[in-house]
Amino acid sequence: MRPIAIMGAMQEELAGLRPHLTGAQTITVGSREVTSGTWHGHNVVLVLSRIGKVAAATTATALIERFDVKEIVFTGVAGGLSPQVSVGDMVVATEFIQHDMDASPLFPPLEVPLYGQAHFPTDINMRQSLQIAAEGVLKNPSQWIHPDVLRALNVHAPKVHSGLVLSGDRFVATSLESQALQQRLPLALAVEMEGAAVAQVCHDYGVPFAAVRTISDRADDAATMAFTRFINEVASRYTFALLDAWLGQK
């Protein structure tokens, strides 16, 4: 049975997942620790991609070439861009754009050269099942996170959104930059640093890909503080709940 790959960018997000794999074994490939095992009867490989597009692309390539994974799901955190997207919400990506890609005037801004496209869609079946799992988790968030923590982080009635997500090699942490991204790409729900790279690799290999991001910050002047707190207190528990529900229903 070809494994399902689960990728995450940060150690804190992934650390909580490893103990849930049965028969876990870890090997190192290309400086990445890949843990394989089973979860709800599925063969799974779990890997920390590290941060940014290059790290994510090499990790995805290694997963496909060395582990013959049948699909890749990326879970992690992101900064909210659209005014409707708040800290504690989840975003299921329907497609990705690299917001820092610009080979103009040779190619249109945002278009990935020689691909003829800027948008890289995710797999429709995977994202539909992840949406259902995410809605299940957020229906009762205090089952996973202590209500005091949710209150302190200002998380009330969190929602699941689906739509465009941006990736680029920048931690967006000023209101100015966040507004500029929204003006340029008004449909963008969130911004992060890896998804579009994995989407491009999966497009090259014909491997189904999906991504779910929990909103850790609003990509604004308060982003750094919000981000650190969120990672430690919320993100890893949400990620576990999401994947446990998703693999359990699969």
Whole-angstrom Cα distance, residue 73 to residue 94?
13
* Backbone angles phi and psi of 166, in degrees to 5: -100, 145
Q: Which stretch binds ligand SAH (CB under 6 A): 65-73, 135-143, 145-153, 187-195?
A: 187-195
- CA distance to 89, 203, 245, per residue, from 120 (Å): 23, 8, 26
Q: Least CB distance from residue 132 to ligand SAH, whole Å?
A: 24
Examine residue 198 and tell whether it contacts ligand SAH (CB under 6 A): no
Stated length of the chain = 250
Q: Which stretch binds ligand SAH (CB under 6 A): 59-67, 101-109, 122-130, 216-224?
A: 216-224
C-beta closer to ligand SAH: residue 6 or 136: 6
C-beta closer to ligand SAH: residue 4 or 81: 81
Candidates 21, 223, 242, 243; binder of ligand SAH (CB under 6 A) is 223
Q: What is the DSSP string of 31-45?
A: TEEEEEEEETTEEEE
CB closest to ligand SAH, residue no: 79
Category of 211 on φ-ψ map: left (φ > 0), alpha (ψ -120 to 50) or beta: beta
- Asked if 97 contacts 179 with a C-beta cutoff of 8 angstroms, the reply is no
C-beta closer to ligand SAH: residue 27 or 187: 187
Examine residue 88 and tell whether it contacts ligand SAH (CB under 6 A): no
Q: Which of 111, 123, 217, 220 is catalytic?
A: 217
Return the H-helix or E-strand segment holding 60.
Answer: helix 53-67
Active site residue 217: yes
Examine residue 98 and tell whether it contacts ligand SAH (CB under 6 A): no
> Which residues are the active-site residues?
13, 217
